[in-house]
Structure 1
Amino acid sequence: MSTIETSTVTGLDTVSYPRAARSRRWLLPAGRVAVPVVALLLWLVLAPLTELVPAPIPTVKEAWDGFATGWIYPGIQATASAVFTGFALGTAFAFPAGYLLGRSRYLNRVFEPLITGTFAIPRIIVYPILLTLFGVGFQAETGMVAISAFFPIVMSTAAAVRQASRTLLKLGRSLNASRAQIAMKIVIPEVAPGIMVGIRIGFSISFIAAIIAEFFAAKEGLGLMISRAHAGLDLPRMYAIVLLVMIAAFGGNMILWWAERRLRRS
């Protein structure tokens, strides 16, 4: 092939790649829009076929009525308080523990098998113990959420810290930086995106743990409301609360996902 032919073919290939990329950009947003649209269509199709699935409009009206009359607010407040308090407690213990496991080979070898094995145990089996210790209410549910949040965050933090750049660590030591300075100026900024993965997973598991705990034993909360609506065969209310829980969990997860992407770009 001659030089002219080669340059011509290369030029065509170079131009075609951006065009192909631009032509496929619409696939991602289209796919994201298609998923809820398909789910809504399935809902519309299934609702007339069975009495066990209320139509979307009555469900949305029931959710709107919950905010208009205020019957949904006590449940939202109870669940949100347990989720955020328990998640904060779990995170507060998981960060330093994960950092120590990531920085110390000895501690990692001792505790990683224990943490990994414990993480595989269903957290719900701990809830009866918490109920025995604290009774039915906020403390037991918060403890359940904290335990659920702890494990994914400590594991992701330890893994991220272990992958910190050895070159940057040596540079920090050569500059006579203290351990606190190395942690705050080098390690944490570098591993923040990896830690955010654990935070996002921990938040999702915490939300699930709170709702499941309220199913079993609680004085108030969205999970208890769903259980009572199910027991009373109030299907529009049950589906309305389930829909609100799904929206809240999805919204919180998307916010954390956005923060994770921002950290990776910075």
Structure 2
Amino acid sequence: MTWDEMQPLLQTATRETLSMVGVATLVALLAGLPLGVLLVLTDRGGLLQSRPVNKAVGAVVNIGRSLPFIVLMLALTSFTRWVVGTSLGWQAATVPLAVGAIPFYARLAETAVREVDGGLVEAVQAMGGSTWTVVRKALLPESLASLVAGLTTTVIAVIGYSAMAGTVGGGGLGTLAYTYGYMRFETDFMVVIVIELVVLVTLVQLAGDLAVRSLGRHGRGDGPVRLLRRRSGSAPAGRPGPAEPAEQPLAAVEG
């Protein structure tokens, strides 16, 4: 197969793969992040401690993570057909991709949020902050770099899953690799697809690492919780300032 014949096929397959990965990652972020935070809040010693809720959510996450992706695709065939009207193509593959990515990212988000210093949480609570304020002002900002790193890992995993989905009619680069590279013995085509996947994963990893480093440089030390703690503390020696109203720190936290 010549390059002129490969090019349109690769362009279409690349768009399908990027669409699958983009939609599945967005769903994983919107659903997995709240699940990860909920696992931390409802755990022993958490702000919303509830062992039944924690055990139930943890069991759902563990079950979702334990299923191999191929098995998950087959198990969700009826659900996929109900959601998108078909069980073939990249739209259909997006459904199990998203379902599989949610528990994957939930555990990574849980680990990231658990790393937040408990003293920062106590500082927000001491100022009268509610649970939602603690999450918004302490847990999420302070764990942002780790959350981005976890999201990068999730995107790379979803890219691998999307290629696997192509072997069962999921579309994208996986379908090309199976149809042309494997079934028709087009070795050159297979090599091109492998190189493209490697480049795609490398770009995602580089972008994720750059974002994490940027957040690590600019987020630490100037986060909202540290600013609040400095604001509520005493003025620097030799530069006494007027006393602030007692409501000021609380207003800053709740705002």
Quick check: TM above 0.5? yes
CA distance in 2, matches of 1:204, 1:252: 7
2:68 aligned residue (110, 122, 129): 122
Query: Higher helix share goes to which structure?
Result: 1
2:15 aligned residue (74, 77, 94): 77
Q: Which amino acid aligns with 2:173?
A: L
- The C-alpha deviation readout for 1:22-46, integer Å capped at 9, x for no partner, is xxxxxxxxxxxxxxxxxxxxxxxxx
2:178 aligned residue (227, 230, 233): 227
Aligned residue in 2 for 1:111: 57
Q: Secondary structure at the match of 2:121?
A: helix
- Is the 1:102–1:158 Cα contact (8 Å) retained in structure 2? yes
Report whether the alignment pairs 1:138 with 2:90. Answer: yes
Matches within 5 A, 1:29-48: none
CA distance in 1, matches of 2:21, 2:60: 25
Q: Which amino acid aligns with 1:130?
A: L
- Is the 1:196–1:256 Cα contact (8 Å) retained in structure 2? yes
Larger CA Rg, structure 1 vs 2: 1
Aligned residue in 1 for 2:140: 188
| 1:114, distance to aligned residue in structure 2 (A) | 4.6
| 1:79, distance to aligned residue in structure 2 (A) | 1.1
CA distance in 1, matches of 2:204, 2:114: 28
- The C-alpha deviation readout for 1:43-66, integer Å capped at 9, x for no partner, is xxxxxxxxxxxxxxx9xx84x874
Q: Which amino acid aligns with 1:116?
A: N
Q: Secondary structure at the match of 1:177?
A: coil
Ranges in structure 1 where 5+ consecutive residues have no aligned partner: 1-57
CA distance in 2, matches of 1:131, 1:111: 24
135-144 or 227-236, larger mean C-alpha shift: 135-144
- The C-alpha deviation readout for 1:102-125, integer Å capped at 9, x for no partner, is 111123344335523542331220
- Is the 1:145–1:206 Cα contact (8 Å) retained in structure 2? yes
- Is the 1:115–1:151 Cα contact (8 Å) retained in structure 2? yes
- The C-alpha deviation readout for 1:152-190, integer Å capped at 9, x for no partner, is 310121122223222111111121223333222211111
Matches within 5 A, 1:1-266: 62=3, 66-67=6-7, 70-105=8-43, 106=51, 107-133=53-79, 134=81, 135-218=87-170, 220-229=171-180, 230-266=182-218
* RMSD value, Cα: 2.2
Ranges in structure 2 where 5+ consecutive residues have no aligned partner: 44-50, 82-86, 219-255
- Is the 2:173–2:193 Cα contact (8 Å) retained in structure 1? yes
Residues 123 and 71 of structure 1, relative CA distance in 2, 3 Å threshold: closer
CA distance in 1, matches of 2:169, 2:125: 52
CA distance in 1, matches of 2:71, 2:9: 31
Normalising by the residue count of structure 1, what TM-score does the alignment of the two structures yield? 0.69
Aligned residue in 1 for 2:251: none
| 1:204, distance to aligned residue in structure 2 (A) | 1.2
- The C-alpha deviation readout for 1:121-158, integer Å capped at 9, x for no partner, is 31220111233331212343111221232123101211
Normalising by the residue count of structure 2, what TM-score does the alignment of the two structures yield? 0.72
**Identity, % of aligned pairs?**
18
CA distance in 2, matches of 1:87, 1:254: 17
Aligned residue in 2 for 1:26: none
